[in-house]
Amino acid sequence: SANKSMFHSKTSIEAGDLSRDNMTAITITPGEVIHNKYGRYVHDDLIGQKFGTKLHSPPPHAGYVHLLRPTPELWTLSLPHRTQILYLPDISYITMRLGVRVGGKVIEAGTGSGSMTHSLSRTVGPLGKVFSFEYHQPRYEKALEEFASHGLDNVHLQHRNVCKDGFSGATDVEGVFLDLPAPWEAIPHAMKTLRPDIITKICCFSPCLEQVLKTVSTLRSEGFSDIFTQEVLIRTHELVKETDPDHLNSVSSIIDRLKAHEKRKVERRAVQMKTAREKIRRQKGGENATAIAETTESSEAGQKRKLETDGSKDVDAEEEEKPQAKDYTPWTEPETQLGSAVLTKPTPEMKGHTSYLTFASFYPESVRNAIAAQDSNKTAIA
Ligand code: SAM
């Protein structure tokens, strides 16, 4: 694009612009055509359209598309996966906790599919710098090409094994983000890049607690402070619209209603299980029935496990969890009428484990000396 960064603020589409199954990223190329289940769209017809436009396909197709301005959030949802990637719940939390700011300098390793890189690039802006490192040659090359075509000029990408060879070229950084299998090997190298005059931060993203323990002990031995580990989980809240003023009179009547809803849900589940078992019994042939029974059992067990542990989306399971229309009125906007209210109840499971985030701060020498002096003063007084 003639516009440098893909995250521009233009209002209309131009040739060369990147726009996005349900979400597709496309580079607007005169002469090209997008043909999908939502219709047929000639790129030339998209040029000049305002971002945000809902565009209907010419007949005989009946679909439509929304033309969206590229953002790091949309890119994360539509990028080609070359590795596991970070999603916005983690990205936004890490960005905040690391204190990444406009004009700031940050390190990330490894680059992977560049999901995190795009968000960091936008956050630090044109005056900032993202030092990104990737040791896998094809991934490095692909990322290099992608960052150039997206105009991420503030990203300085290097092909390097940071655990072995460190973060050469990166200096005076304020924050370090490590998403690689052995962050503890990279921490001693990362320390050499930190800005010496302010409190700097590090975050290590690891899926297993064994990795977290190794990371924490390395952070300790290297002199980091304020070490803590967190994970970002999604907890949804069920909403009940209550309009009957009698039901709003006491907390106990509200609790009774929530309990009754929970009971109906458990009963519905029991009926579904019973129906499934009866269906299996009705199947002809012993072997066949066993096979089907096993399949059903394992898929039920699998579904349960899925809900309990990884929290990934399971459409059937989610359907089942949905309250019935007669129990809940769909919630649309906060109620303002007197005498009505929206009751909320957090769901018991929290979904979304991706990795543990271990954060730590590194204090400049002057601050460490001041703290040490204060501590020795206290000891003297005691
Ligand atoms: N955060 C990235 C994203 O959001 O797209 C995903 C990172 S991916 C899970 C981890 C990457 O780290 C892989 O591409 C891998 O090749 C790279 N990597 C692993 N160890 C490395 C090392 N020692 N030096 C540089 N890169 C490394």
The verdict on residue 12 lying in a domain is no
Q: What is the pLDDT of residue 316?
A: 38
Ligand 1 touching residue 109 (CB < 6 A): yes
* Mean pLDDT calculated for residue range 84-109: 97
Tell me the two tokens of residue 291: 């096979």
Same domain, yes or no: 187 and 327: no
Res 239 pLDDT > 90:
no
Q: What is the pLDDT of residue 372?
A: 85
Q: What is the pLDDT of residue 322?
A: 42
CA–CA separation, 320 and 354 (whole Å): 24
What digits encode the pLDDT tens for the residues 1-27? 335 677 777 777 766 655 545 788 889
Ligand 1 atom, smallest distance to 133 CA: 25
* Cβ–Cβ < 8 Å for 357, 92: no
DSSP result, 210-246:
HHHHHHHHHHHHTT-EEEEEE---B--EEEEEE--GG
* Mean pLDDT calculated for residue range 350-369: 87
* Mean pLDDT calculated for residue range 274-295: 62
In the reported structure, the alpha carbon of residue 136 is separated from the centroid of ligand 1 by a whole-number distance in angstroms of: 8
In the reported structure, the alpha carbon of residue 165 is separated from the centroid of ligand 1 by a whole-number distance in angstroms of: 15
DSSP result, 3-30:
SSSSS---SB--TT-EE------EE--T
The region of weakest confidence among 61-65, 95-99, 125-129, 270-274 is 61-65
Res 134 pLDDT > 90:
yes
Q: What is the pLDDT of residue 258?
A: 73
Res 33 pLDDT > 80:
yes
Tell me the two tokens of residue 58: 């010419």
Final residue in a domain of this structure, among 10, 44, 70: 70
Q: What is the pLDDT of residue 319?
A: 38
Q: Which residue has the higher pLDDT, 381 or 232?
A: 232
Same domain, yes or no: 123 and 228: yes
The verdict on residue 9 lying in a domain is no
Q: What is the pLDDT of residue 335?
A: 45
Q: Which residues contact 162 (CB under 8 A, 6 or more apart)?
A: 109, 110, 133, 135, 180, 186, 189, 190
Res 244 pLDDT > 70:
no
Res 87 pLDDT > 80:
yes
Name the residue range of residue 329's domain: 237-346
Same domain, yes or no: 82 and 52: no
Q: What is the pLDDT of residue 279?
A: 86
Same domain, yes or no: 193 and 219: yes
Number of folded domains that form the chain? 3
Q: What is the pLDDT of residue 346?
A: 76
Same domain, yes or no: 147 and 133: yes
Q: What is the pLDDT of residue 296?
A: 36
Res 92 pLDDT > 90:
yes
Same domain, yes or no: 276 and 293: yes
Same domain, yes or no: 63 and 84: no
Q: What is the pLDDT of residue 345?
A: 73
Q: Whose CA is nearest to atom 18 of ligand 1?
A: 110
Q: What is the pLDDT of residue 58?
A: 87
Q: What percent of the chain has pLDDT over 90?
A: 53
Q: Which residue has the higher pLDDT, 63 or 107?
A: 107
The verdict on residue 6 lying in a domain is no
The verdict on residue 179 lying in a domain is yes
Res 320 pLDDT > 50:
no
Give percent helix, percent strand, percent coil of the chain, each to the nearest 5: 40, 20, 40
Same domain, yes or no: 183 and 288: no
Q: Please, what sign has the CA dihedral across residues 300, 306, 308, 313?
A: negative
User: What is the residue type of 284?
Assistant: K
Res 262 pLDDT > 60:
yes
Ligand 1 atom, smallest distance to 84 CA: 9
The verdict on residue 311 lying in a domain is yes
Classified as helix, coil or strand, 361 is strand
Residue with tokens 């129990």: 327
Same domain, yes or no: 40 and 92: no
Q: ipTM value of the model?
A: 0.99
Same domain, yes or no: 215 and 145: yes
In the reported structure, the alpha carbon of residue 50 is separated from the centroid of ligand 1 by a whole-number distance in angstroms of: 37
According to DSSP, the residues that pair with 40 across neighbouring strands are 35
CA–CA separation, 124 and 316 (whole Å): 41
The verdict on residue 8 lying in a domain is no
What digits encode the pLDDT tens for the residues 192-210? 999 999 999 999 999 999 9
* Mean pLDDT calculated for residue range 172-178: 98
Confidence of residue 339 (pLDDT cuts 50, 70, 90): low
Mean per-residue pLDDT over the chain, rounded: 82
In the reported structure, the alpha carbon of residue 112 is separated from the centroid of ligand 1 by a whole-number distance in angstroms of: 5
DSSP result, 285-352:
SHHHHHHHHHHHHHHHHHHHHHHHTT----HHHHHHHSPPTTT-PPP-S---STT-EEEEEE-S--B-
Q: Whose CA is nearest to atom 9 of ligand 1?
A: 84
DSSP result, 85-137:
---HHHHHHHHHHHT--TT-EEEEE--TTSHHHHHHHHHH-TTSEEEEEE--H
Res 288 pLDDT > 50:
no
Residue with tokens 């945000």: 52
The verdict on residue 3 lying in a domain is no
Same domain, yes or no: 211 and 332: no
Same domain, yes or no: 316 and 201: no
Per this entry, what is the length of the chain?
Answer: 382
Domain containing residue 42: CATH number: 3.10.330.20
Domain containing residue 140: CATH number: 3.40.50.150
The verdict on residue 366 lying in a domain is yes
